[in-house]
Structure 1
Amino acid sequence: MVAEKRGSSANRLSTVLARQLGSQLLAFRDAAGLNQSAAAEVLSAQAAKVAKMERGWVPFRDPDIIALCKLYGVEDEAVVASLVRLAKLDRERRRAKGWWNALDQNNLREYIAMEDAASLVRTWQLSFIPGLFQTREYARSLAVSEGAWIDPDEIERIVEVRMKRQARLDGEHPLEVYAVVWEAALRQQVGSPEVMRGQMEHLLDMAELPNVRLQVLPYRSGGHPCMANAFNIVSFAEAESVDVVHVDTITSTLWVENEEDSSVYSTFFDRTARKSLAPKDSVSLIESIGKGMHS
């Protein structure tokens, strides 16, 4: 499912948590054999409102959730309570005033908002160093090489966004990051050899953080489960939240938001991690690659 921007208000944006909640209510409505008009009637609203709710375009009111669950025959109080908590969490995130709210790209804004609220991010990278671990010089060289910018100032804005994201690695409740990186991403020269040596040294520093686990998948591992795409799996501390998978393609962003599909990504990530070097051996390989970067 690709997130799109519709209007400037946070209340008119389809969010990950609202889409999760909407899909659960849609499943209950289908199981009850009711249409959107029947659901709208119990809410004293139009069917269009129900459609927006089921697609995650609007925040959910607790009375609406309770009324719909009653209509759909959902009698388990624990299930209803979990939906109400999920709706509250979504409303809080919509109201959050983070620095990322000023970003133009809705997909990027939503991902950073999730990353800021997350407890764990598992990232698999094929072609470049994970953004949370990039040096300023590497990030700048990467932005230049992408060639998507028109105004040179755009490059610095891209770099600043990446640097601000890295603040989540510190603080009272730092983000846990489990990164698996293909060896090719370490050897692909981005910028000058000096930039790459600095990046390798920074990676070694990152690997020492207690909230970071870094593994390298070496060439010699051969074929592996995650050859098709790089992706991020974002996990939250709240029990009601389902893991969200974020996949960037050249033309769009894919959000994998249901538990069944996100668990498949988790399984593939774990299988690839098992084929990768242990953290200590990964550090040794990074050191070797850094020493081999010559001008």
Structure 2
Amino acid sequence: MRHTGSVTRTTPLGNRTSTVLARKLGGELLRLRDAAGMTQRQAAEAINATNSKIVKMEQGWVPMRDPDIRILCEAYGLEDAEVLGRLLELAKLDRERRKAKGWWRGAPYVGLGEYISMEEISTSIRSWQISLIPGLLQTAAYTRALGVADSRWEDPDEIEVAAQLKQKRQGCLLGEDPVQLYVVIWEAVLRQQIGGPEVMRGQMERLLEASTLPNVRLQVLPFRSGAHPATAGPFSILSFAEEGALDVVHSDTHTGMVWMENEEDSAYFNRVFDGVARLSLSPHDSVELIDSLRKGS
């Protein structure tokens, strides 16, 4: 079994916390420092700080101030104002996330807010699912049915919050600069009667509607495809606009969210996704299968 580095949730260190957003920003600053051939000591001198602060910044343990980011980027020779702007926006989102000021502050379980904050700034998402419709394509009725079946959800009000939250998240598929969504789902996802025939009929109608969006690509891996490279479980790959930025891989487990944030993991999961996509039906044939199941449900 392949082992990968992972983080299942935000990790406290004394009164500090390492977040996915901060690790993402820290990784970008580390990449720029390495490209400039500068040491941590030289970076620390640039912002009149200690080596320890640079370490904490590059590992995502502390919220970052805009002046420090600007000075470091200047020292590293970054001349692209657009890239600098994205780094500053990433820092702002991380600070808001730490203060729970994002619109996702009502997220009903640990880790969801962090995922949504990453989803909000991603430019493309590639998602492989073996048991569920991806959250960005779920109907409210489908989400409620999942909540009722999950023993971890005891409060009906929390289930409703989750359902409405997923509906709000779907706004990122629309607008002037929507996220590019590429989804591959196993055929079993369509045949599993989550919530019963009526709920599934509505869910498949939602999939058919989404498939017409220019920024959504939907494929189905049919049963007849046999063995495939993604049997280990579902995952999503989030990509960002920064040139050279690493993808971040996310997966849900029974005990929490898992994040994989290094170059090896990114390359591995992209290969797995490409492999399962090649074995799947074309988008046209996938839509035809979904429509036939909708009519028969």
Once residues 153 and 102 of structure 1 are traced to their aligned partners in structure 2, the CA distance between those partners, rounded to angstroms, is 12
1:112-191 → structure 2 map (5 Å cutoff): 112-191=116-195
- Counterpart check, 1:194 vs 2:198: yes
Equivalent residues of 1:60, 1:87 under 8 A apart: no
1:217 aligned to which of 206, 210, 221: 221
5 Å matches for 1:69-108? Answer: 77-78=77-78, 87-95=87-95, 97-103=101-107, 105-108=109-112
Q: Deviations over 1:167-193 (max 9, x none)?
A: 111122222211000001111111111
* Cα pair 1:244 1:262 within 8 Å, conserved: yes
TM superposition shift of 1:55 = 2.4
Instruction: Quickly say closer, same or farther: Cα 1:26–1:241, change in 2 above 3 A.
Output: closer
CA RMSD in angstroms, aligned pairs only: 3.3
The alignment covers a number of residue pairs equal to 284
Deviations 1:54-74 (A, max 9, x none): 32021334675688899xxxx
Q: Distance in 1 between matches of 2:252 and 2:79?
A: 33
Q: Is the 8 A contact 1:125 1:181 kept in 2?
A: yes
AA partner of residue 226 (structure 2): G
TM-score of the aligned structures, taking structure 2 as reference length: 0.81
Q: TM-score, normalised by structure 1?
A: 0.82
Selected match of 2:245 from 241, 246, 261: 241
CA offsets 1:33-88 (integer angstroms, 9 cap, x no match): x898x986886556653443232021334675688899xxxx96349999966642
Which ranges in structure 2 are unaligned for 5 or more consecutive residues? 1-5
Determine if contact 1:5/1:106 at 8 Å carries over to the other structure.
no
Report the AA paired with residue 258 of structure 2.
L
Which structure 1 segments of 5+ residues have no match?
none
Kept after mapping to 1: 8 A contact 2:249/2:261: yes
The separation in 2 between residues aligned to 1:266 and 1:120, in whole angstroms, is 13
Structure 1: how far apart are the matches of 2:89 and 2:71? Answer: 19
Contact 2:25–2:91 under 8 Å retained in 1:
no
Secondary structure, counterpart of 2:118 in structure 1: helix
What is residue 283 of structure 2 aligned with on the other side? Answer: 279
Cα offset for 1:250? 0.9
Do the aligned partners of residues 67 and 152 (structure 1) sit closer, same or farther apart at CA in structure 2, a change above 3 Å counting?
closer
Change (3 A) 1:82 1:60: farther
What per-residue deviation string (whole Å, max 9, x for no partner) do you get for residues 167-224 of structure 1? 1111222222110000011111111111111111221111111111100000000111
Deviation at 1:290, TM superposition (A): 1.9
| Partner Cα separation in structure 2 for residue 35 and residue 47 of structure 1 | 6
Which has the larger Rg?
A: 1
Q: Counterpart in 1 of 2:233?
A: 229
Provide closer, same or farther for how the CA distance between residues 35 and 136 of structure 1 changes in structure 2, counting only shifts above 3 A. Answer: closer
Preserved contact between residue 19 and residue 60 of structure 2 (Cα < 8 Å) = yes
Determine which of 257, 263, 267 is the counterpart of 1:263. Answer: 267
Separation (CA, whole Å) in 1 of partners of 2:239 and 2:73:
27
Is contact 1:82-1:240 (8 Å) kept? no
Aligned pair 1:4/2:10, yes or no? yes
CA shift for structure 1 position 20:
3.7
